[in-house]
Chains A and B, each alone.
Chain A
Amino acid sequence: MVRNRARHDPRTEPAAEALRLVKVTKSYGTAESTVTALDGVTLGLARGTFTAVMGPSGSGKSTLLQCAAGLERPDAGIVRVDGTELTGAGETELTRFRRGRVGFVFQQYNLLETLTVAQNTVLPLKLAGRRVDRRRATEILTAVGLGDRLGHLPDQLSGGQRQRVAIARALVAEPRVIFADEPTGALDTRSARDVLALLREAVRVHGRTVVMVTHDPVAASWADSVLFLADGRLAGRMDAPTADAVAERLAHLGDDAPVGV
């Protein structure tokens, strides 16, 4: 059951703590070969903050985001988003909850091939039965630099352009918490900067909470703080990060937790 103080109505007051994970554990695989992707992660993020998650490839960053967004079910532990506990709810219930509160930008783009850029962007609103504000959608798409591509299909776009549609889609639904998995991974420096500015605007202007996975110290330096992950465990935190300090710390992280690449 989604147990919540705030019910499903997105108009209720946002909770002070946007995200809380308590001893979240998640492993993949069968009995013979299990990979522990998350190993007892506990963390809390305040509302209106911009947090970057960093760590070596395979350290569990995507899994962390997916568990936090209710897309993967943790094996153990508690996940609370915007004051609502997600643990144990069915897919339909979780989906209904996510619609109003959670936006997700995926590592793969996940746009529907049959829908145009504009249609993809407003799809979450349509599915939620919410009013579709086309002007606002066009505004956001223009902000991500796709104002002239509204009628294009995803396969007519470059990887970076698709990534930006995905970001616009996450923003249009005006969620309280936005999870972004390497949103700038496929972008050139300039578009990356545009996207990061959008995410930061969502935090500063609209009071949303953003959690972003990235491998890029420069992208991480846009955040208020950085969480480091290694081998499925939290391995440190840095507030007011600069690109150099983050890069330094990452290199160090690599020493403790070597990854077999």
Chain B
Amino acid sequence: MLVLALRSVRQRPGRFLATLLSAFLGAAIVMAFNSLHDTAGAPGVDAVSSETLRTAAGVVGGYGTLLVFFAVASTLTVNVRQRAAELELLRCSGATPGQIRRMVVSEALAVALVGTAAAVLPAVLGGRLLVELFQDTGQVAASVDHSFGAVALSSGVGVTLVASAGAALLALRRVTRGRRRTVRRRSWLAWAALAAGAVAASSTFAFSATDEMLMAFPAQGAILLSVGFALLAPRLLSGVLGRLALGGASGWLAVRNLRRRAGELSGILMALILFTAVSTATLTMQAVESDEVAASGMVKSVDAKTLETLNYTVVGIIVAFVCVMLVNSLYAATTYRGREFGQQRLAGATPGQVLGVVGVEGLVLTVVGLLFGTLAALAGIVPFTVVRGDAVLPEQLAGVWAAVATVGAAATVGTSLFTARRVLRIPAVRAVGASA
């Protein structure tokens, strides 16, 4: 099975590219931040510097682990789903479920190892950059030297491998097992997340404008709400699509495709909702906070600075990951549709009409994702600005939202159209025959 796994990776390296990229990015981030632990642990580092370094490593390291898991899980699910037929064939030719599991997990581990190995050098450079960043803002003493050691390496390898193996098992279960149980558990989780988010967002009102912790609650609230919405994504999408009627052959086909594929597409919608909510909420609140501090003429404390740096870093990482997930899921999903596009063309669709279908689908996804993401973000932003300033909606919101929406729309619609164009280069009869 291991031989089979390695051969399948070698023969179709393209299919593992996204998983590799997720593992690589994940390992790089985890190692870069965990190298701050190594740096803080080195002899002769003062207490304040050590504290800052460890906080940063702890916060982002935790987020990073989660993100690696989600990103690898998402890319692997796409990968396993694409190969459902191949795996079924293996099963029919006598492979036991255990053998198939071992094969898929071995593949995931092999890819994770390669990704981690490639991530070491970028992680060393990234860690050095982080230390310099903290030194520039005076949060870490200039005498501190970056060091990359055991903690960074072991956590990088450990987190990536464990996440990949776990994600592979999860992906296999998702693809091979029925959905019923998970759906129920998922909606239970979704409501819990929404409730917790609502509580967190409203507890903002219990704080005063100058509290250090003020931003934490609305931010967590927005994130939890967006997780809730994301978990409900398949249902939200079906709900919207049930009411949607678009004109033209392309619109007609797009709505029907989306309805039937709501389950598959929910991964993409999830990524969009999380991306919109987290980046809009965090960036807007941070901008409000910075402007308020600047207006009051106070000098920022080291803690406030650390918080700001962390906020931006976390958002940066989340955005990068979600973009990778989004682009990969869409790329894979669209590539996989070559046969379907071929069928549309053979039924009399011009390439332009096929692109129209894909474009409308992307647009609908974007609008739904932005809608619920923005809703979650607003649930955090409004309490925060009411307490911190006097307005209900901060003026910084418009700019941030426009930027976020542009990136989200460009990633979704752009990836779909770009991939579809490539797929359409294959003649229709062959596209249809190839996977038959």
Residues of A within 8 A of B (CB): 66, 71-73, 91-92, 95-96, 98-99, 104, 106, 108, 110-115, 119-120, 123-124, 126-129, 169, 173
Across the interface, B346 reaches (CB within 8 A) one of A71, A114, A115, A126, namely A71
Q: Please tell me if the beta carbons of A126 and B433 are within 8 angstroms of each other in the complex.
A: no
Chain A residue nearest in CB terms to B261: A114
Name the A residues within 8 Å of B353 (CB-CB): 127
Q: Identify 12 residue pairs between A and B in the complex whose beta-carbon atoms are under 8 Å apart, listed by A's number.
A: A71-B346, A72-B427, A91-B428, A92-B350, A110-B342, A114-B260, A114-B261, A115-B256, A120-B347, A123-B253, A127-B344, A127-B349
Which residues on the B side are within 8 Å of A169 (C-beta)? 347
Question: Would you give the shortest CB distance from A73 to chain B, in whole angstroms?
Answer: 8
With A108-B433, A113-B260, A127-B249 known to touch, is A95 a contact of B349 (CB < 8 Å)?
A: yes
Q: Is the CB of A92 within 8 A of B352?
A: yes
Q: Which residues of B are found within 8 Å of A110, using beta-carbon distances? A: 342-343, 346-347, 432
- Greatest chain A CB density within 10 A among B253, B257, B260, B350 is at B350
Residues from chain A with Cβ under 8 Å of B253 in the complex: 115, 123, 126
Establish whether residues A91 and B351, one from each chain, have CB atoms under 8 Å apart when the complex forms. yes
Complex CA–CA separation, A173 to B346 (angstroms): 13
Quick check: B343 and A173 within 8 Å, CB to CB?
no
Identify B347's interface contact among A71, A72, A113, A123, CB under 8 A.
A123
- B429 close to chain A: CB less than 8 A: yes
> Known interface pairs A71-B429, A72-B429, A91-B350. Does A126 touch B249 (Cβ–Cβ under 8 Å)?
yes
Question: B436 near A: Cβ within 8 Å?
Answer: yes
Contact call A111/B343, Cβ cutoff below 8 A? yes
B338 to chain A, nearest CB (A): 13
**Within 8 Å of chain A (Cβ to Cβ): is B88?**
no
CB-based contact A106/B432 at 8 Å? yes
The chain B residues found within 8 Å of chain A, CB to CB, are 249, 252-253, 256-257, 259-261, 340, 342-353, 427-429, 432-433, 436
Q: Is the CB of B340 within 8 A of A113?
A: yes
Give Cα A21 to B428, complex, Å.
Answer: 21
Residue pair A124, B348 in contact (C-beta under 8 Å): yes
7 new A-B contacts at CB < 8 Å, known A95-B350, A104-B346: A71-B428, A91-B351, A106-B346, A123-B347, A123-B348, A127-B348, A127-B353
Whether the pair A173, B348 counts as a contact (CB closer than 8 A) is yes
- Docked-complex contact B348 and A66, CB < 8 angstroms: no
A129 lies within 8 A of B348 (CB): no
Min CB distance, A176 to chain B, in Å?
A: 15
A98 near B432: Cβ-Cβ < 8 Å: no
User: Shortest Cβ distance from B234 into chain A, in angstroms?
Assistant: 16
Instruction: Please tell me if the beta carbons of A99 and B343 are within 8 angstroms of each other in the complex.
Output: no
Contacts of A104 in B (CB 8 A): 346
- Are B252 and A66 in contact (CB-based, < 8 A)? no
A108 and B343 alpha carbons, distance in the complex (Å): 10
- Cβ of B342: which chain A residues have Cβ within 8 Å of it? 110
A119 to B253, CA, bound (A): 10
Instruction: For the complex formed, measure the closest distance between the CB of B235 and the CB atoms of chain A, giving whole angstroms.
Output: 19
Q: Which residue of A lies closest to B430 (CB)?
A: A72
Q: Which residues of B lie under 8 Å from residue A72 when comparing CB positions?
A: 427, 429
Closest B residue to A92 using CB positions: B350
A111 to B343, CA, bound (A): 7
Known contacts A71-B427, A91-B350, A95-B350; A126/B252 CB under 8 A: yes
Q: CA of A128 to CA of B349 in the docked complex: distance in angstroms?
A: 8
